[in-house]
Structure 1
Amino acid sequence: MPSMKELVQGVDTIWVIVAAVLVFFMQAGFALLEAGSTRMKNAGHIAGKQILSFAIVTVVFWICGFGIAFGTGNNFMGTSGWFMHVEASKIDQVFSSLSFSDVPIGAKFLFEVVFAGVSLAIMWGGLAERAKLAVYFLFGIVFSAFIYPVVGHWVWGGGWLGSVGMQDFAGSTVVHLVGGTAALVGAILLGPRLGKYNKDGSSNTIYGHNQVYSVLGVIILWLGWFGFNPGSTLGLDKSFFAYVAYTTNLAAAAGAIGALVTAWIVLGKPDITYMLNGVLAALVAITASCAFVHPWAALVIGGLAGIFMVFSVQLFDKVFRIDDPIGAFSVHGVAGIWGTLSTGFFAAPDLVNKVGVGKAGLFYGGGFHQLWVQFYGVAIAFGFVFVTSFIAMYLIKITVGLRVPKEEELIGLDIAEHGTSGYPEQLPSDYSFAKRLQA
């Protein structure tokens, strides 16, 4: 008969694997959301690169990313545990940052690699409809091997931000701000899609080809978040995971309403796209604070995230003229910043004691200490990702190039990059131009 400890470990392991599967299923959500929010001529390419992206991050994270993020090392990065080649008796020593959970190291790796996969998936949104396929390989390797793992180590792996008490329970900064910032860099270096801006600087709306796909994508992502945030307990932990799921759902609902109403007021119409992004912005924001805040605060955090997202999308499009096709930085970057800062205001003492990270927020008598920690953690993470992503992508730009030629962008990446179409029935009977591009 197994002991009680073995039974608890087994149940915890099942939960972590289920949570990891839910997070992995978010890749399907990204595929539908991004393909539906862009044009038909690029749909197959955009959906298909989710498979390539996750394959790259899985291999690279196994080689070195997991060790850099969670291996024992210094305040900057882990220096052990590469290839996960560790003696069984030394696993808790090498991966001490994850030793709070008794689940096997394989389950921990699976849970963490799907997080890395989400962050990389976020990044590609800023490059949609105009980036070369080679960029996915080259930048995907750099991102998975160094950029994401280093920030992960700072906060979760025993690095310097974790040691000063930065509160980021499931990754508003580590996953979402990191991916969103890289997306912003990509959008800047690539430049806008053809036809996005007029000579006078005014913006043209480029509509997605299937809003139903986008809705289904968001529903899948919302579902996946029930693994993303609650699964970060890495165990059942006396059902605390259920509380995390509770605050997560409240925030998402508030984000949908806040964004839709705001878009209605600002744009004059209750735009469905903004409502969808409002859900995601709220989920991004509550990801840092889900374990630290009371339900009323989760509603406030989610609702404000939806509102901020609407104004952010308008700002980057109309004022800065940065073409971010699915609003990756507004949804994941801006909302990630707000979500991380929010614990500095709303972190409740009883929950802070439960989690054991940082101090209570300003509104609970904790003063400005936690807000300051959250602020400089966000600022330095943003700066690090922006600079390293810019260097990596600029080097790619001056060597192999970032952007497809004009004629390939016009005909669409499905044909130009892959020689087939996501909707072959929609092709004209004579598409010899496309065939010449393949030659």
Structure 2
Amino acid sequence: MDAGLFTANNVWMMVCTALVFFMHLGFSFLEIGLTRQKNTVNILFKNVFIICVGLLIYYIGGFNLMYPGFEDGDAGFLKFAGFGIAAPENGMTPEYADGGYTWWTDFLFQGMFAATAATIVSGAVAERVKLGGFMIFTIIYVGLVYPIVGSWQWGSGFLSSLAFGEAEGFYDFAGSTLVHSVGGWGALIAIYLLGARIGKFGEDGKPKAIPGHNLPLAAAGVLILWLGWFGFNGGSVLSADPALTSLVLVTTSLAAASGGVSAFLTSFFAYKNFDLTMFLNGILGGLVGITAGADQMSPNEAVIIGLIAGVVIVAGVALIDKLKLDDPVGAVAVHLICGIWGTLAVGIFGNMAGFDQFLVQLAGVGAAATFCSLSAFIILFTIKKISGLRVSEQEELEGLDIHEHGMDAYADFRMNQH
């Protein structure tokens, strides 16, 4: 391969790595904005912990668990290539990954993805989870569950060769299932085991709004996430191919825009107000929805996927409330439900549309659902029994910042409470 093209590919991948890293600031802002002021430090601590520990865990074993080098005759379910990372002899040359990028860039780009699964859970369990229990969950979920599921498809495991009729292989371009639904299933199990925040449901069982303390931060978080998604999806092309990369960025943006518009309109017709939080989550729902097939869709199809994702967001949030589950940031509706929708959309729209492909996509969703739900339940239930998952009532009412961290995010916050 031409050295200039190799360099361009690798530089683009490194830029995308930086954009995906930047998404963690977006997640932090979104979670802070949609929750109460007294828990701000706690949320920031969790998100910084996820980045640092997630990257180290991925280095220690996650990368080689996700890309174990399945061979003919392997079941394609579980294999481990060893601890640590050491580049092959051709690791810095154009021979690696068919000339797309170097071994080191590959590791770092995939490492940025790995932490996202736990970040999704962080928002869902905000304001009442014990920090120690969450940290243990993060280590196990990012270290084992995420890379195992990823290996099934991106590591050439059994999903990548799953055939039915004319369909050959499950398809998830950038992770509607392999990243977002993996986090979404963990979030769903976590909020079920944790229970709702104090005051979320009244004596009549009806959900009560617990307003976030800073919607400007939440809006900034979503716009940062949208920007970061250019790296999330654009980098998943795994080269600087101008035609495919530009198409992916177009479909990503159109799905985000139509998801936001669809969500705020659906919310307006249902509740007779222009809800900013629904608008913001609609954008994220459109982004999650297009992620599985961003390289397969036409602009028109991207808009349709986003429009449906916006409706799914409003219905999903209502469903979570109806089930008396408490998700402060809408993570389950955004990442799990829209992740499922986006994965199935590959079988409905785009180059791979067809009933056979739809069934393969459905099977992939089912496999991830089963493994992630069972794994999350075992991890969280064990933590709950041994050390407890939830803080005390007093700690929850007074805020996790002062009890877990001994500090406030805003210096005059507690002074102004008295």
TM class, shorter-length = over 0.9
- Tell me the secondary structure at the aligned position of residue 292 of structure 2: helix
Q: C-alpha distance in 1, partners of 2:271/2:367? A: 34
**Hey, what's the Cα distance between the residues in 1 that align with 2:90 and 2:35?**
50
Taking a change above 3 Å as real, the CA distance of residues 40 and 8 of structure 1, as seen in their structure-2 partners, is same
Moved >4 Å (runs of 4+): 89-92
Aligned residue identity for 1:77: L
Residue 383 of structure 2: aligned partner: 396
Residue equivalent to 1:77: 78
Compute the displacement of 1:100 (Å).
4.1
The 3-state SS of whatever aligns with 2:260 is helix
Cα distance per residue 1:123-161 (max 9 Å; x no partner): 111110011111232111111111100110011111011
In 1, distance between residues paired with 2:268 and 2:43?
29
What residue number does 2:334 align with? 331
CA distance in 2, matches of 1:67, 1:279: 34
Deviations 1:347-385 (A, max 9, x none): 22xxxxxxxxxxx313xxxxx110000011101101110
Question: Structure 2: how far apart are the matches of 1:266 and 1:225?
Answer: 29
Counterpart code for 2:366: A
- Quick one: distance in 2 between partners of 1:86 and 1:215? 40
TM-score (norm 1): 0.90
**Quick check: which one's helix share is greater?**
1
Partner of residue 315, structure 2 = 311
The amino acid across from 1:242 in the alignment is: S
Contact 1:53/1:136, CA 8 A, preserved across alignment: no
1:355 aligned residue: none
**Alignment map for 1:372-391 (pairs within 5 Å):** 372-391=359-378
Pairing of 1:126-137 with structure 2 (within 5 A): 126-137=124-135
Equivalent of residue 31 in structure 1, options 18, 28, 33: 28
Amino acid of the residue matched to residue 227 of structure 1?
A: G
Secondary structure of the residue that 1:285 maps to in structure 2? helix
Note closer, same or farther for the CA distance 1:430–1:259 as it changes in structure 2 (3 Å cut): closer
**Is the Cα–Cα contact under 8 Å of residues 20 and 111 in structure 1 kept in the other structure?**
yes
Q: Please list the CA deviations of residues 230-270 of structure 1 after superposition, one character each: whole Å capped at 9, or x if unmatched.
A: 11011112431111001100100100100000000011111
What does 1:32-431 correspond to in 2, within 5 Å?
32-73=29-70, 74=74, 75-89=76-90, 99-164=97-162, 165-317=169-321, 319-348=322-351, 360-362=352-354, 368-428=355-415
Task: Report deviation, 1:101.
Answer: 4.8
Correspondence for 1:353: none
Distance 1:167 1:39 in 2: 39
**Structure 1: any 5+ residue segments left out of the alignment?**
349-359, 363-367, 432-439
Aligned residues: 407
- TM-score (ref. length: structure 2): 0.94
Q: Report the CA distance shift for 1:90/1:113 in structure 2 as closer, same or farther (over 3 A).
A: closer
* 1:434 alignment partner in structure 2: none
Identity %: 40
Cα contact 1:56–1:137 (8 A) shared by 2: no
Q: Distance in 1 between matches of 2:139 and 2:45?
A: 18
Q: 1:268 is aligned with what amino acid? A: K
How far off is 1:91 after superposition? 9.7
Cα distance in 1 between the residues matched to 2:7 and 2:90: 19
Q: Which residue identity does 2:4 align to in structure 1?
A: L
Quote the Cα distance in structure 1 between the aligned partners of 2:417 and 2:126: 27
The question of whether the paired residues in 2 share the 8 Å contact of 1:15 and 1:236 is answered with: yes
Cα 1:18–1:91 change in 2 (3 A) is closer
Change (3 A) 1:311 1:30: same
Residue type at the aligned position of 2:181:
L
Quote the residue 2:12 is aligned against: 15
Which residues of structure 2 form unaligned runs of 5+? 163-168
Could you tell me whether the CA contact under 8 Å between 2:50 and 2:138 is conserved in 1?
yes
Q: 1:292 corresponds to which letter in structure 2? A: Q
Are the counterparts in 1 of residues 92 and 102 from structure 2 also a CA contact under 8 Å? no
Cα drift, residue 430 of structure 1: 9.2
Structure-2 change in CA distance of 1:157 and 1:200 (3 Å): same
Distance 2:80 2:350 in 1: 33
Alignment partners' CA distance in 2, 1:369 and 1:243: 25
**In the alignment, is the contact (CA less than 8 A) between 1:66 and 1:81 conserved in 2?**
no
Deviation digits for residues 274-319 of structure 1 (CA, Å, limit 9, x no counterpart): 00000000000000010111110000001100111101101111x2
Alignment root-mean-square deviation, CA: 1.7
Is contact 1:118–1:175 with CA below 8 Å preserved after alignment?
yes
Aligned mates of 1:13, 1:81 — CA distance in 2: 25
